[in-house]
Amino acid sequence: MSRRKLVVGNWKMNGMRAHLDEVEAIGKLAAQHPAVEVGLCLPATLIMAGSQLKGAAFIGAQNCHMELSGAYTGSLSAEMLIEAGATWVITGHSERRETRGETNADVAAKSVAAHAAGMKVILCVGETLAVRDAGDADEVVTAQLLASLPEGASADWLAVAYEPIWAIGTGRIPTLEAIQSMHATLRAALASRIGQEQADAMRILYGGSMNGDNAAEIIALPDVDGGLVGGASLSAAKFEPVIAAAD
């Protein structure tokens, strides 16, 4: 099944207003590759300014709260993020699961809240090196996906990102065979929950040290529909070959 490729940069806790020229440059790059859906999930301080720049890249957020409002100091609701200019949000990133203690239930609730507010969602799942070495990666990641999957999940507003935790920012990546195998496993798990048609339409991204050197061979895999890209998305020069690889 043909699925439009999706390439999203996650800037994490990087970027100041001085770096908005890179956001603008990436937006112009996206316009040169209309077959690819390109986005940048920026730190909250840059969402409004980034969304006001001309360009073909959507602006997303890196997290949202599951409630619309309340006594949640330091948190932002999906409605607040939309008002700032974000149209997508990342939920369940491993850095939040591991350092902030976010549970599968939390991730599902945040995804539901984002969708209810009108946002699209990139839901992240992945395994540690210990789980991979123990041979339990498929079982653990599949269970994580099914427990995090929000009610009503469908391909028109949800994408899944597989991020082997041990590969994020390390330069180490699984073999191509392992990446394809996991993506196929996740698609089969989706089919068991939302049906084969929706599972076939759902975009599953790879995240974990994707860059201009390895993007083409990874994105060419049958069940890989793009990438969730960290460090290589911080500049237009480094992000361009990743976008081009998906075109």
Query: How many Cβ atoms are within 10 Å of 197's Cβ, its own excluded?
Result: 12
From the candidates 79, 95, 163, 240, which is the catalytic residue?
Answer: 163
Backbone φ and ψ for 129, nearest 5 degrees, come out as -65, -35
209 is an annotated ligand-binding site residue: yes
110 is an annotated ligand-binding site residue: no
Element (H, E) at 198: helix 196-201
Are 35 and 4 a contacting pair, CB within 8 Å?
A: yes
Q: How far apart are CA 49 and CA 177, in angstroms?
A: 40
Active site residue 102: no
From the candidates 93, 95, 102, 127, which is the catalytic residue?
Answer: 93
In 51-87, beta strands by DSSP E = 58-61
DSSP category for residue 232: G
3-state secondary structure of 91: strand
Element (H, E) at 159: strand 158-162
Q: How many helices (H) and strands (E) does the chain have?
A: 11, 8
In 3D space, the residue among 136, 222, 132 whose CA is nearest the CA of residue 172 turns out to be: 132
Element (H, E) at 121: strand 120-125
Active site residue 240: no
169 is an annotated ligand-binding site residue: yes
Binding site for substrate, residues? 10-12, 169, 209, 230-231
Binding site, residues? 10-12, 169, 209, 230-231
Annotated catalytic residues are: 93, 163
